[in-house]
Each structure stands twice: as C-alpha cells, then as structure tokens.
Amino acid sequence: MRRSSDDKDLQRKQANRASARRSKLKKKKEFHSLAKQVDILSRQGMDLRTEIARCSGVLETLQEQEKSLRQQVERLAESNPEVAALLAEEEAKRKENKGEEEAAKSGQPGTSAARRHH
C-alpha cells in the first residue's frame, strides 16, 4: 500500500511540475505579446507626435499668411472705396450665412432665411 501512495505522490508532483511549466510558458508568451504591443503603441505615439508637430507648423504658416492677406485687403480697402463697399457686402453675407448655420444646428429657422421667404 505504501508503494501505491508513493506512486500517486510522484504522479501528482509530475502533474504539478507540468502544470507549473505550462503556466510559466503561458505567462512568458503573454509578456512577450504585451511587450510587442507596447513597442507598436510607442511607435504609433511617436508618429502621432511628429504629425502633430508638422500640422502645428503648417497651421502657424497659414495663420501668418492669413494675417498678411488681411492686411493687404485692409490697405486696398483704405485706398479704394469700391473695394471697401464690396468687402462690407461680403462680410454681411458671411455673417448672415453664419447665423443661418448656427440656427440650423440648434433646430431653429434662420431669421434671414425666414425673412426672404415671406
């Protein structure tokens, strides 16, 4: 009877070792998978930061160009009354369109559009 108990103990120990080995391999595999994912996400983050920096540079350039163009338009309007009148008319249209867009977003009919239809 002692022999059978020793055999069972030996089998249990072997089964436990095999289970522990499988568990360690599984954890190692999971670790490597997570490390790979960290590497991929780190590279993506770096790429995104680079793209943000590039876009920020483009934005800054465009803002400078816009400022310069607005100054040119102001100088033109100061020296030419017809240009000033056209600019005032375009500004009024732009404000009207902006009001209609905001009214459409809020679900209310635009006041200028409603006046045109009546």
Task: Measure the CA–CA gap between 60 and 95, rounded to whole angstroms.
Answer: 25
Kindly write down the DSSP assignment for every residue of 71-117, as one continuous string: HHHHHHHHH-HHHHHHHHHHHHHHHHHHHHHHHHHHTPPPHHHHHHH
Share of the chain above pLDDT 90, in %: 66
On whether the CB atoms of residues 77 and 87 are closer than 8 A, the answer is yes
Average pLDDT over all residues of the chain: 89
Token readout for 82 is: 């017809």
According to the model, what pLDDT value does residue 83 have?
87
List, for residues 76-101, the tens digit of each pLDDT value.
989 999 988 998 999 999 999 988 88
A 10 A CB-CB count for 84 gives 15
Contacts of 113 (CB under 8 A, 6+ apart): 100, 103
Lowest mean pLDDT among 32-36, 80-84, 91-95, 106-110: 106-110
- Which residue carries 């635009």 as its tokens? 110
Residue 5 has pLDDT above 90, yes or no: no
- pLDDT-derived band at 108 (thresholds 50, 70, 90) equals low
Question: In terms of pLDDT, which residue wins out, 29 or 83?
Answer: 29
**51-72 per-position pLDDT tens digit:** 999 999 999 999 999 999 999 9
